[in-house]
Copies of this chain bind each other. A is one copy, B any other.
Amino acid sequence: MHNFVFHNPTKILFGRDTVNAIGSETRAWGRRALLVYGQTSLKRSGLHARIVNSLREAGLELIEFGGTCSNPLLSHVREGIALAKTHGSEVIVAAGGGSVIDTAKAIGAGAVVEHDVWKFFTGKRSIKATLPVTTVLTLAASGSEMNAGMVLTNDATREKFGFGHRLLFPKTSILDPETTFTVPVDYTVYGAVDAISHVLEFYLTASDPDSPVQDRLMEGLIDNAMTACLRCMDDPCDYNGRANLMWTATLALNGLTAAGLGRVGFPMHLIEHSLSALYNVPHGAGLAVVMLGWLRAHHDLYARRIAELGRRLFRLPDGEQAASIAAQTSLCLQEWLHRVRAPTTLADLGIPARDIPRIADNTRGLARIWRLRDYPPERVAAILHLCR
């Protein structure tokens, strides 16, 4: 095990009717609040009204900033920052999925500086302070509700970059599984795939794999994401199915899985970010495709780890060669992706194979920032060819 620091100060309120606490949890951090949310579903479900009521009852002075889309845009964040500055917002409330929470975090970071917020993402400036963020989560997927990361797409340059800083942990996140009953099947699946990918990236790229305590934790999370997703597909209002998926997605990227693994990479996300940046495909949909291609490309290089995963997760036999078990592991994962009707090829996403060079080229920027020097465009292109 490598040395690590684990310090996750986010307070989680989990369960039925916890949404009503958003007012008091937010009031603890300020009086003037900016409420960030997405398109239409929050109002349609009645959740918007519940949140606004709770915030108003707690004495918060509120302005609203709706319209965040999935793969949230830098231009939209800039508008939010301007609004927060004019309003003198003291605290940001995010009500939505990872895109909304990341937008809120970026507004909170950008509202306290004079320079452009994108400079954080390109590594040109570092975060010294932020406005506090509280959240009401409505999608089990990104883990942003309990981590210090955020991802934005620069709509001018078509770059989708991620960035992390310890000041970006939300203060309180409210996770009521009932708010996810209305999430459509495809987005439920994309969320589960996102959670699985978060665990998988660390599991496979860990620089010190002698951390069985972390391995068992990660295998358990992948196992649960797969089974809970199936439960939610069978019955979208299965409370415990939704609850298990929600908590799994949160634990999948809250710092716990990576503790002790040393330097980990995010190569699947590197490639997916370019798919989303160029074609605006849902993050989880892109990941389902990239995940399989990445695994196929690494049956030999990462044979031991992929096989270990397959033996634990899919009870594949002990005896055979690791590379063969690794290939079977990919097939088992592919089978599950088919079962949940996720896309598994670039064609499923409507992306033609002739675009592969362009996609590979788009990964350059993030590969530089994330220091993934071992992922030059040629290697990315080779992986993408296995996503066909």
Interface 1/0 per residue, A13-51 and B, CB below 8 Å: 111111000000000000000000000000000000000
Check if A324 is an interface residue, CB within 8 A of chain B. no
Interface 1/0 per residue, A239-254 and B, CB below 8 Å: 1100110011001000
Interface 1/0 per residue, A201-214 and B, CB below 8 Å: 00000000011110
- The answer to whether B13 touches A5, judged by C-beta atoms less than 8 angstroms apart, is yes
Check if A228 is an interface residue, CB within 8 A of chain B. yes
Instruction: Tell me the smallest distance from the CB of A18 to a CB of chain B, in Å.
Output: 7
Instruction: Tell me the smallest distance from the CB of A302 to a CB of chain B, in Å.
Output: 20
Check if A386 is an interface residue, CB within 8 A of chain B. no
- State in angstroms the CA–CA spacing of A160 and B11 once bound together: 31
Instruction: Tell me the smallest distance from the CB of A279 to a CB of chain B, in Å.
Output: 33
Of the stretches A216-224, A293-301, A371-379, the one at the interface is: A216-224
- Among candidates B4, B13, B228, residue contacting A213 with C-beta atoms closer than 8 Å: B228
Check if A260 is an interface residue, CB within 8 A of chain B. yes
Q: Given known contacts A9-B9, A240-B1, is B212 in contact with A14 (CB within 8 Å)?
A: no
Q: Given known contacts A7-B11, A14-B5, A16-B3, is B211 in contact with A240 (CB within 8 Å)?
A: yes
Instruction: Tell me the smallest distance from the CB of A249 to a CB of chain B, in Å.
Output: 10
- State in angstroms the CA–CA spacing of A260 and B228 once bound together: 15
Check if A70 is an interface residue, CB within 8 A of chain B. no
**Chain B contacts of A6 at CB under 8 A?**
11-12, 14
**Chain B contacts of A15 at CB under 8 A?**
1-4, 260
Chain B residue at minimal CB-CB distance from A21: B5
In the complex, chain A residues 111-144 whose Cβ is within 8 Å of any chain B Cβ: none
- The answer to whether B259 touches A14, judged by C-beta atoms less than 8 angstroms apart, is yes
**Chain B contacts of A12 at CB under 8 A?**
4-7
Check if A334 is an interface residue, CB within 8 A of chain B. no
Instruction: Tell me the smallest distance from the CB of A181 to a CB of chain B, in Å.
Output: 15
Instruction: Tell me the smallest distance from the CB of A121 to a CB of chain B, in Å.
Output: 26
- The answer to whether B259 touches A210, judged by C-beta atoms less than 8 angstroms apart, is no
Chain B residue at minimal CB-CB distance from A249: B213
Chain B residue at minimal CB-CB distance from A225: B213
Instruction: Tell me the smallest distance from the CB of A343 to a CB of chain B, in Å.
Output: 26
Check if A227 is an interface residue, CB within 8 A of chain B. yes
Check if A8 is an interface residue, CB within 8 A of chain B. yes
Q: Give 27 pairs: A residue, B residue, CB < 8 Å, sorted on A.
A: A1-B177, A1-B239, A1-B243, A1-B244, A3-B15, A3-B18, A4-B15, A5-B13, A6-B11, A6-B12, A6-B14, A7-B9, A7-B12, A8-B8, A14-B260, A210-B240, A211-B240, A211-B244, A213-B220, A213-B221, A213-B228, A213-B248, A216-B219, A216-B223, A220-B220, A247-B260, A256-B256
A-B pairs, 5 with minimum CB distance: A3-B15, A216-B220, A7-B11, A1-B243, A6-B12
On A, residues with C-beta under 8 Å from B are: 1-18, 177, 210-213, 216-217, 219-221, 223-224, 227-228, 239-240, 243-244, 247-248, 251, 256, 259-260
Given contacts A14-B260, A217-B220, 5 further A-B contacts (CB under 8 A): A3-B14, A3-B17, A4-B14, A5-B11, A7-B9
